[in-house]
Amino acid sequence: MDYGLYRTILAARRGRVLTLTLNRPDRFNAIDGAMHEELSRLFGEVSRDGEAEVVILTGAGRAFSAGGDVDWLQGMIDDPWSWEKTADEAKNIVLSILDCRQPVIAKLNGAAAGLGATIALACDVVFAADRAVIGDPHVKVGFTAGDGGSALWPFLVGYARAREFLYTGELLTAEKAAAIGLINHCVPAAELDARVDAFADQLAAGAIRAIQWTKRAINAPLRRIVTENLDLSLALEFKSNLTADHQEGVNALREKRSPRFNGR
C-alpha cells in the first residue's frame, strides 16, 4: 500500500503495527474536504494491507481532531448540493472503521470533538492522555449530530447519558469519559505512547486471526445500528445545514464568541 499518496494523513510502520496520523496540526487536525475524502477510503485500503495486523490512529500536534473545519462547514452552507458527496463519505468513514479487518486503536493525544470524537469512538479501543477531552458539540453550532455519533454514544454509555451529552455538546475530560465507559483508558500524557504501543504489540503477538474475527463478530450488531442511524441522522443533519441557527453557529465559531440562536 502506498500511503504516501495521502495529503492529510501520515503512515508509519513498526513491525506489523501501522500508525496513521491525522496531519493538519496547525488546525488541530480539523477535518476539511480533502481529509474527509481521504478518510472515506483510508480504512478500506488499510483492511487490504497484508503487512499490517494492528492499526493505531492518532493526531499530529496537540489534538486528535477538533472536528469539522470551519471553512469547510461554511462551504457546505454555501453549496448545499455538496452534501450528497459529504453524506456518502461520512457513511464510508464510520462503516469502514467498523469493517476494517484489523483492530484499530485510537490514541487521543488531545481533544477529539464532533466528527473527531465519532471517528475515535468507532475504533475498537480508545486510549486518551489525561489532558485530552472528548465530546460531540454538533448542537453548539446548530448542527444535528448526524455523522454516527447519535448511534455510537448510546451503544457505549446508554441512552440517558448519550442524550445528555449530545443535547448539550459537553466536552468530557478523559478521566470522566473512561469512568462512564465511553473510552477504555485515561493515562498520563507522558505514558500514552508507551501504553498504546504495548497494547498494540500484545494484539499483534496474539492469535491475530481469532482477534480480527472476534472484532467482526462484536461489530456485527453495532454495524446494523450505525447503518440504520446514518440514513436518518445524515438527512437530519442536512436539514440543519440549511438553518439560520447553523449559520449563526459557524459565524460564532469563526468569531470565537457564544452563538445567539433563535430556533430557525
Summarize pLDDT for 212-261 with one digit per residue, the tens: 999 999 999 999 999 999 999 999 999 999 999 999 999 999 999 999 99
Query: Strand order in 185-187's β-sheet?
Result: 9-14, 17-22, 54-59, 104-108, 125-129, 185-187
260: in domain: no
Whether 56 is in a domain gets the answer yes
Polymer length of the chain: 264
Q: What span, in angstroms and rounded, lies between the C-alpha atoms of 167 and 152?
A: 14
Number of domains in the chain: 1
Give the pLDDT confidence score for residue 127 in this predicted structure: 99
Query: What is the predicted pLDDT for the residue at 224?
Result: 96
pLDDT (0 to 100) of residue 263: 94
Cell of 114: 464532533
CB proximity list for 119: less than 8 A, separation 6 or greater: 39, 57, 65, 93, 94, 97, 106, 112
- Does this model's pTM top 0.95? My answer is yes
The amino acid at residue 198 is: A
High-pLDDT (> 70) share of the chain, %:
100
User: Which residue in the block uniquely carries the three cell numbers 482477534?
Assistant: 211
Q: What share of the chain is helix, strand, coil (3-state, %, to 5)?
A: 55, 15, 25
Three-class DSSP category at 187: strand
Q: Who contacts 218 (Cβ-Cβ below 8 Å, separation ≥6)?
A: none
**What's the mean pLDDT when you consider all of the chain?**
97
pLDDT, one tens digit per residue, over 86-121 is 999 999 999 999 999 999 999 999 999 999 999 999
Closest CA to 124 of 147, 142, 106: 106
| Residue 195: predicted pLDDT | 98
Dihedral sign for Cα atoms in the order 118, 121, 122, 128: positive
- Average pLDDT of 17-42? 98
Q: Is 214 among the domain residues?
A: no
User: Which pLDDT belongs to residue 1?
Assistant: 78
- Domain range for 12: 3-191
Percent of the chain topping pLDDT 90: 98
The answer as to whether 141 is a domain residue is: yes
Residue 165 lies in a domain: yes
Torsion angle, alpha carbons of 255, 257, 262, 264, to 10: 40
Neighbours of 158 (CB within 10 A): 12
In a domain, 111, yes or no: yes
d(CA 255, CA 233): 28
What pLDDT sits at residue 180?
98
Q: Which residue has the cell 486471526?
A: 209
Flag whether 143 is in a domain: yes
The conformation of residue 170, written as its DSSP 8-state character, comes to: P
Exposure letters 209-224 (e unless 16+ CB within 10 A, then b):
eebbeebeeebeeebe
Contact between residue 59 and residue 65 where contact means Cβ atoms under 8 Å apart: yes
Residue among 75, 79, 1, 2 nearest 34 (CA): 75
Question: Considering the domain boundaries, does residue 76 fall inside one?
Answer: yes
Average pLDDT over residues 70-83: 94
pLDDT at 122: 98
pLDDT at 75: 96
Q: How many helices (H) and strands (E) does the chain have?
A: 10, 10
User: Can you give the CATH number for the domain in which 15 is found?
Assistant: 3.90.226.10
